[in-house]
Amino acid sequence: MTTHEHTDQPMRHRMVVFGHDTMFMSHLPMFSMREHAYQVILETELTADDGTDPMQVYRDDRRQHPDVAFYTFDPGRFVLPDILPADGHPAASTKFTGDLYRHHVEHSDPPPVMIAQNVTVNISNVVHGRRFDPHAPASAQLDYRAFGGDGEVYLAHLLTRPPDFDQLIQVTLNPALPTAELHPGPVVTVAGRRDMAGERLQPGEQAQAGDATVDVVAQVYFNDDSDMTDPPGHH
């Protein structure tokens, strides 16, 4: 899925956490820093050594806070390409550990609230994993990666090079894609749209993507900062 050399340093690779029955995580990328210059989307499950069920804690918290668009995961340091398949070989690692927060762990309004501490992320599927190519041409079309299943379908905007935008949206597709086709899922191109933040898919909107009609249910996450920068402490 990606080609890499094991020269990255261990870093704290924070993730946007979303989904209801299934938990997905999306790496918070940065174009300018080698170790963070990846777009990575994972299908995951949480476990804990203390006998608790962090997945149930997450699902219960989601039900109690339906207005919260996403959660975040703050892991210990690890080498990001270690969790990505490369050159036909499986990933070197399928786990990392850290803490789960309601709201954005890097923002103060609203303040983040830890709901599960020292839990293990078990990666069941790498939906998308790619290091950014600084020489890649800007995309001429608005492309998203489709993934999900069981009535919960998402699109992730495919990042290429700055200026760009990171966006996760929940959608319905008509005709619907079988769950098997959403692992990892096809790239869909939105008809008549340029690859610009101002032309991205918006909640409540309907658009055509290939043979499918896309209805946007909600925007889960959006960031159009020029470098996807974040407050101090990310690294």
Following DSSP, what letter does each residue of 216-231 receive, concatenated? EEEEEEEE--TT----
Domain check: are 57 and 96 in the same one? yes
> For residue 7, what pLDDT is reported?
79
Greater pLDDT, 179 or 28: 28
Q: Which range, 12-16, 159-163, 209-213, has the best average confidence (pLDDT)?
A: 12-16
Q: Is the pLDDT of residue 106 over 90?
A: yes
199-226 mean pLDDT:
95
Tell me the C-alpha distance between 182 and 177, whole Å.
7
Is residue 37 included in any domain, yes or no?
A: yes
Local confidence band at 149 (pLDDT 50, 70, 90 cut-offs): confident
> For residue 3, what pLDDT is reported?
46
AA letter at 30: M
Q: Is the pLDDT of residue 85 over 70?
A: yes
Domain check: are 24 and 121 in the same one? yes
Last residue of a domain, one of 86, 107, 131: 131
Local confidence band at 156 (pLDDT 50, 70, 90 cut-offs): very high
Domain check: are 53 and 119 in the same one? yes
Q: Is the pLDDT of residue 160 over 80?
A: yes
Q: Is the pLDDT of residue 150 over 90?
A: no
Local confidence band at 4 (pLDDT 50, 70, 90 cut-offs): very low
Domain check: are 179 and 107 in the same one? no
- Between 124-133, 184-193, 224-233, the lowest mean confidence (pLDDT) is in 224-233
Last residue of a domain, one of 131, 155, 186: 131
Task: Determine contact, residues 121/46, Cβ cutoff 8 Å.
Answer: yes
> For residue 183, what pLDDT is reported?
82
Domain region containing 148: 142-223
- pLDDT tens track for 109-118: 999 999 999 9
Task: Determine contact, residues 34/81, Cβ cutoff 8 Å.
Answer: no
Q: Number of folded domains in the chain?
A: 2
Q: What percent of the chain stands above pLDDT 70?
A: 94
Task: Determine contact, residues 43/18, Cβ cutoff 8 Å.
Answer: no
Last residue of a domain, one of 131, 164, 181: 131
- pTM recorded for the entire structure: 0.93
Q: Is the pLDDT of residue 213 over 90?
A: yes
Local confidence band at 6 (pLDDT 50, 70, 90 cut-offs): low
**What is the total residue count of the chain?**
235
> For residue 229, what pLDDT is reported?
59
How does the average pLDDT of the chain come out, rounded? 92
Is residue 178 included in any domain, yes or no?
A: yes
Is residue 136 included in any domain, yes or no?
A: no
Chain centroid offset of residue 167 CA:
9
E strand intervals along 19-94: 23-27, 38-47, 71-75
> For residue 186, what pLDDT is reported?
93
Is residue 233 included in any domain, yes or no?
A: no
**And the tokens for 122?**
């078990």
65-70 mean pLDDT:
97
Alpha-carbon torsion 176, 182, 186, 190, what sign?
Answer: positive
Local confidence band at 168 (pLDDT 50, 70, 90 cut-offs): very high
- Going from the C-alpha of 44 to that of each of 18, 131, 148, the distances in angstroms are 10, 20, 12
64-79 mean pLDDT:
97
Is residue 69 included in any domain, yes or no?
A: yes
Contacts 24+ apart (CB under 8 A), 162-166: 162/31, 162/226, 162/227, 163/224, 163/226, 164/31, 164/195, 164/224, 165/197, 165/200, 165/222, 165/223, 165/224, 166/26, 166/28, 166/29, 166/39, 166/221, 166/222, 166/223, 166/224, 166/228
